[in-house]
Chain A
Amino acid sequence: MAAPPAPTVRGGRVGRRDDTRLALLFILPAGIGLVAFYFWPLLRGIWLSFTSWDLLSPAQFVGLDNYRAMAADPVFWNAVRVTLLYVVINIALQTAVALVIAVLMQRLSRSTLLRSLVLAPYLVSNVVAALVFLWILDFQLGIGNQVLEWIGLERIGFFTSEAWAIPTIAVVNVWRHMGYTALLIFAGLQAIPATTYEAARVDGASEVRTFFGITLPLLRPILGLVLIISVIGSFQVFDTVAVTTNGGPVDASRVLQLYIYDKAFGQFDFGYASALSVAMLLILVVVTFFQYRMTRAGQTDLN
């Protein structure tokens, strides 16, 4: 029998081998999930975008036909425009409101009750929130319009006029999401060292000056990530629209997701719907890339 190897070496080798196996074992369930429910559908979706498929008969390869049709489809381009309009209104308002709420939460009150209240709308499901606002803002019976009339203004077709549909839906979603976004930003604020604020106070800086001079620059990476997440979510708006306007009036709120859904499950044109989905994926990739670059979300100024 050969001399036993040095205990340290043996221990090291054994340890490394065990780690790899164990790691693979741990990754396996998540890995299977990722491949089965993420990569495979993604690849299949991309493949389907080159086919004509109605679910019931076999898919037929049609090359770039779906993409050619898409380029010439006015409803698609309208959907892109409407979705962008929604994202701009939704994100601009939501981020501004959430930022104010978060700063107020940090600078004025640390009450847990208040924080819970701010988050409350987020606990309401999208569909329920949409239904409640549909009733509140109903042209004829909604209390919102009754109030408008009492104070001497004209009734507004919030969900039934082309000009108001998208802004209304955007604001309803701001109401639901602002608390959640505020909480994310609030977490970022906690990471800013209290000493910087103390220094600012010693220097006699006003609250406004402190906000623009310290809070905003130091919050940038968090704000960048929050923006990336909320913009992706915003692009995928669907349930609020499906419940309140179903794309109407005419095509005024026919956002991309709704058009994809209509094509797939309303008309069983899964090939075209897949092509639309790929287009949306590409738009998101480009938008996210530029956001990441512009906000330099990967770097912090805290060091």
Chain B
Amino acid sequence: MHHARRTTASLAAALAAGTLALAGCAGPGTAAAAGDSVVVDYWLWDSNQLPAYQRCADEFEKQNPDLQVRISQYGWNDYWRKLTAGFVAGAGPDVFTDHLTQYPGFAERGLLRDLNTLEATADVDYGGFQEGLADLWVGQEGSQYGMPKDFDTVALFYDTTMISEAGMSPEDIAGLDWNPEDGGSFEKALAHLTVDENGVRGDEEGFDPKNVAVYGLASNGSGGMSGQTTWSWLAGATGWTFTDADVWGTEYHFDDPRVQASLKWLFGLVEKGYMAPYEEVGTEPNPQQALGSGRAAISANGSWMLGTYANLEGVDLGIAPPPSGPVGHPVSMYNGLADSISAQSPDPEEAARWVAFLGSDDCQRIVGEAGVVLPARPAGTEAAIEAFGERGLDASVFTDLVEKKQTVFFPVTEEFGAIDALMTPMMDEIYIGDRDVATLTEVNDQVNGLLK
């Protein structure tokens, strides 16, 4: 079933790509020559979402015969380089999928349109999106730089069979608690799920942490400066926040003992044998593969990975919220994507009409029905939960976290690139075990120095 779906999806993607290539050949010339239809260039990075957005574009073109939408998809790594090159050459898209880590830099350089100044998007009621998502895209002077499109949170994925073999139930996993001192019942569960090469469990006598066959927790690397799927849900559950404000903070909090203790606990798992060492996973960790191959029992990852985990062969997938922390409940990072309009677009009003449609119930429901991501409008979110439900997947774990406000925002500040470049090697060093978490206090001064 899943396989068939995937084939159809990729076929559709291939067809769409083919059509795009053809359109790409003819597009600009004919549009300019004919003069009766304006072409709006739209970029996104996720190939899984391309078919759904193509359906949106078809629907939009039906409703707006004078407009044509041309979608291009580039992989995440090329996407930002191409986009920047596009800005430099003045040949970028009119509308593009934007990320919280990138838009402050663009906004700072005046490369984004304020949606409030364009006719089609001026009167959008941003209260109609999942709570807080629209605020993430408001610039320091109150400009709206993005139309929310989807959101993601983080939860625990596990193989139900492996859990029950260990004598645990899905309810057990959903009801774990954690603290940075002794790790709580979460650490006990990880210990129990860890098995060494002689078949001895991590909480049993004679366990060999140097020769582990199954790790309790799958490694997803050091997580860099945001630790989105690695440590943000731990540090967040202590009540720690990245910066002094939800958005546009001017001071980071890496000097806080709570984040340092959380990191120390997480990467301390390596020595205990409950998580793979850096040596094993390197710079390209693959937690879904670790879960799929039975190398790890539990993997923390984002809602956007739901489809990938669901397709793992031989895994009876279970999903649970992150463990409840010292604040008394689980916490997940809450990240939202949006569509932005380039300031270089020659047809901003037309681009705004497309963006308004992207942010409408109509389009977000189409995207939701594809069952790939969780759209930002409740109608779209519900459609997605239903689509996932049809495949036997309970996506409500991800949305509950948002409903119950058990979230911490992705840090939105200036200088993200420089801060990330500074911190990622240091986080790796902490993971490897060569750096004491206490040194983050000094690093925090450096980080805050970059913000001044």
By a CB distance below 8 angstroms, the chain B residues around A251 are: 425
By a CB distance below 8 angstroms, the chain A residues around B281 are: 139, 160
Question: Could you say which of A56, A245, A265 contacts B283, with CB atoms under 8 Å apart?
Answer: A245
By a CB distance below 8 angstroms, the chain A residues around B432 are: 162, 249-250
Interface of chain A, main secondary structure: loop
Query: A159 at interface (Cβ–Cβ under 8 A)?
Result: yes
Residues from 248 to 262 in A contacting B, C-beta threshold 8 Å: 248-251, 254, 262
CA distance A160 to B81 in the complex (A): 27
Query: A140 at interface (Cβ–Cβ under 8 A)?
Result: yes
CA distance A182 to B299 in the complex (A): 49
CA distance A245 to B88 in the complex (A): 29
- Asked whether B417 lies within 8 Å of A160 as measured between CB atoms, the reply is no
Q: Which residue of B lies closest to A248 (CB)?
A: B283
The 0/1 profile, CB within 8 Å of A marked 1, for residues 416-451 of chain B is 011001000110110010100000000000000000
Query: B279 at interface (Cβ–Cβ under 8 A)?
Result: yes
Query: A180 at interface (Cβ–Cβ under 8 A)?
Result: no
Interface of chain B, main secondary structure: helix
Q: Which residue of A lies closest to B105 (CB)?
A: A268
Nearest-Cβ distance from residue A239 to partner chain B, whole angstroms: 15
CA distance A166 to B105 in the complex (A): 34
Query: B231 at interface (Cβ–Cβ under 8 A)?
Result: no
Query: B252 at interface (Cβ–Cβ under 8 A)?
Result: no
- Asked whether B283 lies within 8 Å of A246 as measured between CB atoms, the reply is yes
Most buried by A among B87, B278, B434: B278
Question: Could you say which of B87, B105, B295, B429 contacts A250, with CB atoms under 8 Å apart?
Answer: B429
Question: Could you say which of A157, A246, A267 contacts B417, with CB atoms under 8 Å apart?
Answer: A267
Residues from 217 to 254 in A contacting B, C-beta threshold 8 Å: 245-251, 254
Nearest-Cβ distance from residue A266 to partner chain B, whole angstroms: 6
Query: A65 at interface (Cβ–Cβ under 8 A)?
Result: no
Most buried by B among A262, A266, A267: A267
Query: A148 at interface (Cβ–Cβ under 8 A)?
Result: no
Q: Which residue of A lies closest to B87 (CB)?
A: A56
By a CB distance below 8 angstroms, the chain A residues around B282 are: 139, 157, 159-160, 245, 248-249
Query: B452 at interface (Cβ–Cβ under 8 A)?
Result: no
CA distance A246 to B282 in the complex (A): 10
CA distance A250 to B295 in the complex (A): 25
Nearest-Cβ distance from residue A129 to partner chain B, whole angstroms: 18
CA distance A112 to B76 in the complex (A): 46
Question: Could you say which of B84, B295, B434 contacts A55, with CB atoms under 8 Å apart?
Answer: B84
Query: A303 at interface (Cβ–Cβ under 8 A)?
Result: no
- Asked whether A54 lies within 8 Å of B109 as measured between CB atoms, the reply is yes
The 0/1 profile, CB within 8 Å of B marked 1, for residues 138-166 of chain A is 01100000000000000001011110000
By a CB distance below 8 angstroms, the chain B residues around A262 are: 421
Nearest-Cβ distance from residue B345 to partner chain A, whole angstroms: 16
Query: A195 at interface (Cβ–Cβ under 8 A)?
Result: no
Question: Could you say which of A157, A247, A268, A269 contacts B84, with CB atoms under 8 Å apart?
Answer: A268
- Asked whether B280 lies within 8 Å of A157 as measured between CB atoms, the reply is yes
Question: Could you say which of A56, A265, A267 contacts B418, with CB atoms under 8 Å apart?
Answer: A267
Query: B118 at interface (Cβ–Cβ under 8 A)?
Result: no
Question: Could you say which of B84, B280, B434 contacts A56, with CB atoms under 8 Å apart?
Answer: B84
Query: A8 at interface (Cβ–Cβ under 8 A)?
Result: no
Known: A57-B109, A248-B428, A250-B432. A160 touches B279 (CB 8 A): yes
Known: A55-B84, A139-B280. A268 touches B428 (CB 8 A): no
By a CB distance below 8 angstroms, the chain A residues around B81 are: 265
Query: B261 at interface (Cβ–Cβ under 8 A)?
Result: no
Query: B379 at interface (Cβ–Cβ under 8 A)?
Result: no
Query: B111 at interface (Cβ–Cβ under 8 A)?
Result: yes
Q: Which residue of B lies closest to A140 (CB)?
A: B280
Residues from 172 to 193 in B contacting A, C-beta threshold 8 Å: none
CA distance A249 to B433 in the complex (A): 12
By a CB distance below 8 angstroms, the chain A residues around B280 are: 139-140, 157, 160
By a CB distance below 8 angstroms, the chain B residues around A140 are: 280, 295
CA distance A55 to B81 in the complex (A): 12
CA distance A266 to B422 in the complex (A): 12
Q: Which residue of B lies closest to A154 (CB)?
A: B210
Nearest-Cβ distance from residue A242 to partner chain B, whole angstroms: 11
Known: A139-B282, A160-B278, A250-B432. A266 touches B417 (CB 8 A): yes
Question: Could you say which of B109, B111, B418, B425 contacts A248, with CB atoms under 8 Å apart?
Answer: B425
- Asked whether A250 lies within 8 Å of B418 as measured between CB atoms, the reply is no
CA distance A248 to B84 in the complex (A): 25
- Asked whether A56 lies within 8 Å of B111 as measured between CB atoms, the reply is yes
Known contacts A250-B428, A250-B434; 19 further A-B pairs (Cβ under 8 A): A54-B109, A55-B84, A56-B87, A57-B109, A140-B295, A159-B282, A160-B278, A160-B280, A160-B281, A160-B282, A245-B283, A247-B425, A248-B283, A250-B425, A251-B425, A265-B81, A267-B418, A268-B84, A268-B105
User: Which 6 interchain pairs have the tightest Cβ spacing?
Assistant: A157-B279, A160-B282, A267-B417, A250-B429, A250-B425, A56-B109
Residues of A within 8 A of B (CB): 54-57, 139-140, 157, 159-162, 245-251, 254, 262, 265-269
A-B contact pairs, 10 of them (CB 8 A): A56-B109, A157-B282, A248-B282, A248-B283, A248-B428, A250-B426, A250-B434, A267-B418, A268-B417, A269-B418
